[in-house]
Amino acid sequence: MDTLFISDLHLDNRRPQVINYFTEYLKNLTSDISALYILGDFVEYWVGDDDPAIGLNELFEQIKNESKKYDIYFMHGNRDFMMSENFCHRLGMKLLPDPSVISLNGKDILLTHGDTLCTDDHEYQNFRRLVRSKLWQDEVLKKPLEQRIKLAKDLRKQSLRETESKKEIIMDVNNLAVEKTFLKYNVNTMIHGHTHRPNIHTSSFKDKEFKRIVLGDWFSSSFILRYRNDKILIDKESFI
């Protein structure tokens, strides 16, 4: 039985090859799958459950069908945090809080999107606190759909501009935040996305070994982490 982990697909009708690849991947899964975990930024943006989801509706239908075969879990990222629990249920996905600890082959693993670990980016953390508040979300959801789409596009542009000007290190995880998370949740393995820097980092402190697995984005190739018993496999294929 395999357990799959993905994040940062940033599904968008402007990049149909990513949508097609994911669709085909799900169709062609031959091994037994026990669960699929989607750790945020599944879609490029989500403005509320009346989002037209252009180019995504067929895939959503497929997810619903797949969820009858194995469990599909979804955790919010910084792009799709407005997807409601209700909407997830309609797609057959179970919404997981960030972070969540799961047990896999008798081992506890912490799952997070990863943005909360980037504590050096104070500007982003302030922004995150604002947009994750119920007050802000309630206000935004009162706006007409067109206005919300414009807001999402503006925020995306702004984030692109800021990403260019910020130092690389500021946008990566803060090591102390990572250590604190390991200790707080009493785990020695975590899986996250968000930074778009796929890697497996091992470290040791307090006489223990810790492993942080970072998932890759789906911009130029796919990235699926597959746990088969205790073995880690990575399915990666270029779109170009």
Only one of the segments 26-34, 77-85, 151-159, 206-214 lies at the binding site for Mn ion (rule: CB under 5 A); that segment is 77-85
The bridge status of strand 224-228 relative to strand 231-235 is: antiparallel
* 195 counts as binding Mn ion under rule CB under 5 A: no
Smallest distance from the beta carbon of 69 to Mn ion, in angstroms?
28
* 41 counts as binding Mn ion under rule CB under 5 A: yes
Rounded to an integer, what distance in angstroms lies between the CA atom of residue 111 and that of residue 80?
Answer: 17
* 77 counts as binding Mn ion under rule CB under 5 A: yes
* 192 counts as binding Mn ion under rule CB under 5 A: no
Binding map of Mn ion across residues 1-40, x = CB under 5 A, - = no contact: ----------------------------------------
Q: Which is nearer to Mn ion, 41 or 120 (CB)?
A: 41
Which residues, other chains included, contact 235 with Cβ-Cβ below 8 Å and sequence gap of 6+? Answer: 25, 222, 223, 224, 226
Q: Which is nearer to Mn ion, 77 or 216 (CB)?
A: 77
Residue of 51, 73, 78, 181 that binds Mn ion (CB under 5 A):
78
Eight-class DSSP state of 140: H
Smallest distance from the beta carbon of 31 to Mn ion, in angstroms?
28
DSSP strands (E only) in the chain: 2-6, 33-38, 71-75, 93-96, 100-104, 107-112, 189-192, 199-205, 208-214, 224-228, 231-235
Q: Which is nearer to Mn ion, 2 or 22 (CB)?
A: 22
Q: Which is nearer to Mn ion, 194 or 212 (CB)?
A: 194
Q: How is residue 78 written in tokens?
A: 């910084």
Give the total of residues touching Mn ion (CB under 5 A).
4
Rounded to an integer, what distance in angstroms lies between the CA atom of residue 120 and that of residue 81?
Answer: 21
Exposure b/e, 167-188, CB count within 10 A at least 16 = b: eeeebbbeeeebeebbeebebb
Cα dist. 36→3, 68, 89, 224 in Å? 6, 12, 15, 10
* 216 counts as binding Mn ion under rule CB under 5 A: no
Residues comprising the chain, all counted: 240
Only one of the segments 26-34, 61-69, 70-78, 88-96 lies at the binding site for Mn ion (rule: CB under 5 A); that segment is 70-78
Binding site for Mn ion (CB under 5 A): 41, 77-78, 194
